[in-house]
Amino acid sequence: MLSAFARAFQTPDLRKKLLFTLGIMVIFRMGAHIPVPGVDFVAVNQCIKETQTSGLFGLVNLFSGNALLQLTIFALGIMPYITASIILQLLTVVIPRLEALKKEGQAGQAKITQYTRYLTIALAVLQGTGIVATASSGALFSGCPYANQVVPDQSIFRIAIMVITMTAGTTVIMWLGELITDRGIGNGMSILIFTSIAAGFPGSMWAIKESGTLLGGWGEFFSVIAVGIVVVGLVIFVEQAQRRIPVQYAKRMIGRRAFGGTSTYIPLKVNQAGVIPVIFASSLLYIPALVVQLTNSQAGWATWIRSNFVRGDHPVYMATYFVLIVFFAFFYVAISFNPEEVADNMKKYGGFIPGIRAGRPTAEYLNYVLTRITWPGSFYLGLIALIPMIALVAFGANQNFPFGGTSVLIVVGVGLETVKQIESQLQQRNYEGFLR
């Protein structure tokens, strides 16, 4: 593998792409440490040391590389773009105009990308306003004595400057991601998310070592590394797992020549939904706690929510989280993969699954297979997502436990995809790749 890296850097155009990608990653991490104008950075650092943030703020903080809690110019991270992409993907199923654009090929996809950019800006303004308002009220660092000093000047002009700065930061991140996609290696947005999450790994591991008691903390440290190796191996195994449905195309006579007659397959991944169900479930579970926080109610239902849904290590919270992940896994697979459409396309081009009649029987067979493999995929997602909560009880770690939940899913998924892209470019030049 190291020799393959060396050969990649020895190829001039590939070396240029790799260095360009690394340069953008460095710029991205630098922006994650520049505070927004109007923030008391000393008070922010004090609150970060004394409090832990979970829920939706913890998720956004994970995707921003801890830039959210530091209230930097890249505080929103790539989260508005992710949300906008998911919304557009869901709306494509509902709105006929977007569905027609999706079928137009590259031109239609460019139009949908433009809509995604506009929606990203709108969501960035909304999220930036919400985060600044939360920080101004002291709710971002609840329990910190310096929480009300984070934003000393709460005039409308100062608040507007902070929101505009955060929105501009999101726009710059979106531009940097597109630069990586066009001139670098891999998908730009995925690379930036990978960078944000990987940047928090050393701090999380050192925090586990500092809070440990076995052999001066080193016992817990190496135990977590051992667990991490097992979890990463499991994630790689499941992420690469797929059910291949064989497809045979009949021969067609055009003039005196025969065309077609090839064999291929439809790859159905075990984890067809990716990390989206975990994001959906985390966002939905934060809503009850947010309602209680905004209303400040002391009613019985509010007390029950505070007891069961504020702490991530509570059994009720963990069980609800697991059930929601399973539900959203099936929901997202249902809207992202249409068996009827696949069966119609196969029938149109003369394709069929051996032993299955074309048309409706093919759609029913694909739906049957997809449902069967989604069950283990959804349970796998739920178990991986619960690892940080179990670690919260076992090691006293925070919600951003490095080897679990969204972090390990994204890091492993993006890493595998990027390595495959580098390998394909190396193979074009007759070099050995990474995956042997």
- The residue that leads in pLDDT, 208 or 247, is 247
Q: What is the CATH number of domain 204-436?
A: 1.10.3370.10
Flag whether pLDDT at 51 surpasses 70: no
pLDDT tens digits for 201-235? 777 777 777 776 666 677 777 877 887 888 888 88
Supply the pLDDT for residue 164: 92
Give the pLDDT band of residue 301 (cuts 50, 70, 90): confident
- pLDDT at residue 63 in the model: 66
Check: CATH 3.50.50.60 for 15-199? no
For residues 299-331, b (16+ Cβ closer than 10 Å) or e, as one string? Answer: eeebeebbebbbebeeeebbebbbebbbebbbb
pLDDT beyond 80 at 395 = no
Range with the poorest average pLDDT among 9-18, 153-162, 201-210, 271-280: 201-210
Tell me the pLDDT tens digit for each residue of 56-74: 566 666 666 677 777 888 8
Of 167-176, 251-260, 347-356, 419-428, highest mean pLDDT: 167-176
pLDDT digits (tens, 9 = 90+) for 14-49: 888 888 989 998 998 888 888 888 887 777 777 777
420-430 mean pLDDT: 74
| CATH code 1.10.3370.10 region(s) in the chain | 15-199, 204-436
3-state SS string over the chain? CHHHHHHHHHCHHHHHHHHHHHHHHHHHHHHCCCECCCCCHHHHHHHHHHCCCCHHHHHHHHHCCCCCCCCECCCCCCHHHHHHHHHHHHHHHHCHHHHHHHCCCHHHHHHHHHHHHHHHHHHHHHHHHHHHHHHHHCCCCCCCCCHHHCCCCCCHHHHHHHHHHHHHHHHHHHHHHHHHHHHCCCCHHHHHHHHHHHHCHHHHHHHHHHHCCHHHHHHHHHHHHHHHHHHHHHHHHHHHCEEEEEEEECEEEECCEEEECCEEEEEEECCCCCCHHHHHHHHHHHHHHHHHHHHCCCCHHHHHHHHHCCCCCCHHHHHHHHHHHHHHHHHHHHHHCCHHHHHHHHHHCCEECCCCCCCHHHHHHHHHHHHHHHHHHHHHHHHHHHHHHHHHHHCCCCCCCCCCHHHHHHHHHHHHHHHHHHHHHHHHCCCCCCCC
Residue 397 — pLDDT band, cuts 50, 70, 90?
low
Indicate if the pLDDT at residue 266 is higher than 60. yes
pLDDT digits (tens, 9 = 90+) for 181-203: 888 887 888 888 888 888 877 77
pLDDT value at 259 more than 70: no
How many CA atoms are closer than 13 Å to the CA of 10, on its beta-carbon side? 9
| pLDDT score of 172 | 92
Share of the chain above pLDDT 90, in %: 5
Confidence band, pLDDT 50/70/90 cuts, at residue 318: confident
* 332 vs 10, residue with greater confidence: 332
- pLDDT surpasses 60 at 400: no
**Residue 167, pLDDT score:** 92
Give pLDDT, residue 100: 84
Per-residue pLDDT, 31: 84
Specify the pLDDT at position 12.
79
Q: How confident is the model at residue 52 (pLDDT cuts 50, 70, 90)?
A: low
Residue type, position 26, single letter: V
pLDDT digits (tens, 9 = 90+) for 347-372: 887 788 888 888 888 889 889 999 99
Q: What pLDDT, on the 0 to 100 scale, is given for residue 396?
A: 56
Q: Check whether 137 has a pLDDT greater than 70.
A: yes
| Average pLDDT estimate for 263-267 | 83
Q: What is the pLDDT of residues 82-130, one digit of tens each?
A: 888 888 877 887 888 888 887 777 788 888 888 889 999 998 998 888 8
Tell me the pLDDT of the chain averaged across its residues. 79
pLDDT at 293 > cutoff 70: no
